[in-house]
Amino acid sequence: MQSRIYPKRSEHVYLFVTCLVDMFVPEAGMDAVRLLEREGITVHYPEQQSCCGQPAYSSGNPDQARAVAAAQMALFTEDWPVIVPSGSCAGMMRHHWVRLFGDDAQQAQRAADLSERVFELTEYLQQVLQLDFAQLAQANTQTERVALHTSCGARREMGTRQHGVATLAQLPAVTLAEHQRESECCGFGGTFSLKHPAISGAMVMDKLAALRATSCQGVVTADCGCLLNLRHAAEYQQQPVRIEHMASFLWRRTNAADAAQTDLPSAQPAGEPV
């Protein structure tokens, strides 16, 4: 992963909401919009958007992935940042779309130009908008201990773990709990969980055990695939875990109206359900 040069803030941005946010965690998408609009930014959402093409690409179907990517690229015609509330999808768009069009110089150039405008949400809030979360969250004095889970793609392709850690560190009354399997995959891995369910299941149980051992009150993640995998595995164990998308967590901590109505559980002893 190479360091990037960040642009000045834009008055307009696109939101690429991702399939999983759209279908399963729409509140994360709405909270992303709220965070951006609060800063006076106009958020544009092309309704024809669908998938980034990652499932087909990672399954060895480049032709299908190329068709999906081409359809998405055609939607973002203005020279505005494309904000993605998912590190893995942002990684696909920023690093892999160009490779899909290696035999088509014109499309490859379009993909390369667009890749420079793709930002994971937390990255954009911190590096481009340079939000002062300490100031934004000063009214919320309720103490909270959370663990952070960063997806493999977000961590290794987009480097967004550092943005997540730095953002959480700014929030007053929020403590970040480190867990022993923090750098490991949750077991989802897109189609990996379908092709290797036993291995995937063992991985997510290891991850959940490490999270519970921190005595945290909840888990924050910026990737909905991981969020859903962890949440459903915990429900299967009949030991539910409170997991929030980073967008929803930040909105709750920095929005006084929401913060006043939040009832958080007490921290649990090590080894007990979060």
State the Cα–Cα distance between residues 89 and 94, nearest whole angstrom: 9
1 pLDDT above the threshold of 70: no
Close Cβ partners of 35 (under 8 Å, ≥ 6 residues apart) = 121, 125, 247, 250, 251, 254
Question: Which range among 1-10, 98-107, 241-250 shows the weakest confidence by mean pLDDT?
Answer: 1-10
Close Cβ partners of 117 (under 8 Å, ≥ 6 residues apart) = 76, 79, 80, 81, 82
- Tens digit of each residue's pLDDT (9 = 90 or more) over 119-172: 999 999 999 999 999 999 999 999 999 999 988 888 888 888 999 999 999 999
Predicted model pTM: 0.89
State the Cα–Cα distance between residues 53 and 11, nearest whole angstrom: 28
State the Cα–Cα distance between residues 250 and 268, nearest whole angstrom: 23
Asked whether the beta carbons of 95 and 159 are under 8 A apart, the reply is no
Asked whether the beta carbons of 267 and 243 are under 8 A apart, the reply is no
Residue with the two structure tokens 């803030």: 9
Task: Identify the DSSP state of 95.
Answer: I
Phi, psi values for residue 9, rounded to 5° = -60, 150
pLDDT recorded at residue 265: 39
At residue 118, the 3 state secondary structure works out as: strand
268 pLDDT above the threshold of 80: no
Residues of the chain with CATH 3.40.50.11810: 132-261
Q: What percent of the chain has pLDDT over 90?
A: 77
Question: CA end-to-end span of the chain, whole Å?
Answer: 33
- From start to end of the chain, where are the E strands? 12-15, 42-44, 82-84, 118-120, 144-149, 174-177, 218-221, 243-245
- Tens digit of each residue's pLDDT (9 = 90 or more) over 159-209: 889 999 999 999 999 999 999 898 899 888 878 888 898 999 999 999 999
Q: What percent of the chain has pLDDT over 70?
A: 92
State the Cα–Cα distance between residues 269 and 232, nearest whole angstrom: 22
- Mean pLDDT of all residues in 29-54: 96
Secondary structure of 108-171 in HEC code, one letter for each residue:
HHHHHHHHCCEEEHHHHHHHHCCCCHHHHCCCCCCCEEEEEECCHHHHHCCCHHHHHHHHHHHC
263 pLDDT above the threshold of 60: no
pLDDT recorded at residue 2: 55
Asked whether the beta carbons of 234 and 205 are under 8 A apart, the reply is no
Specify the CATH number of the domain 132-261: 3.40.50.11810
177: β partners: 147
Closest CA to 27 of 259, 272, 246, 187: 246
State the Cα–Cα distance between residues 209 and 203, nearest whole angstrom: 10
State the Cα–Cα distance between residues 112 and 109, nearest whole angstrom: 5
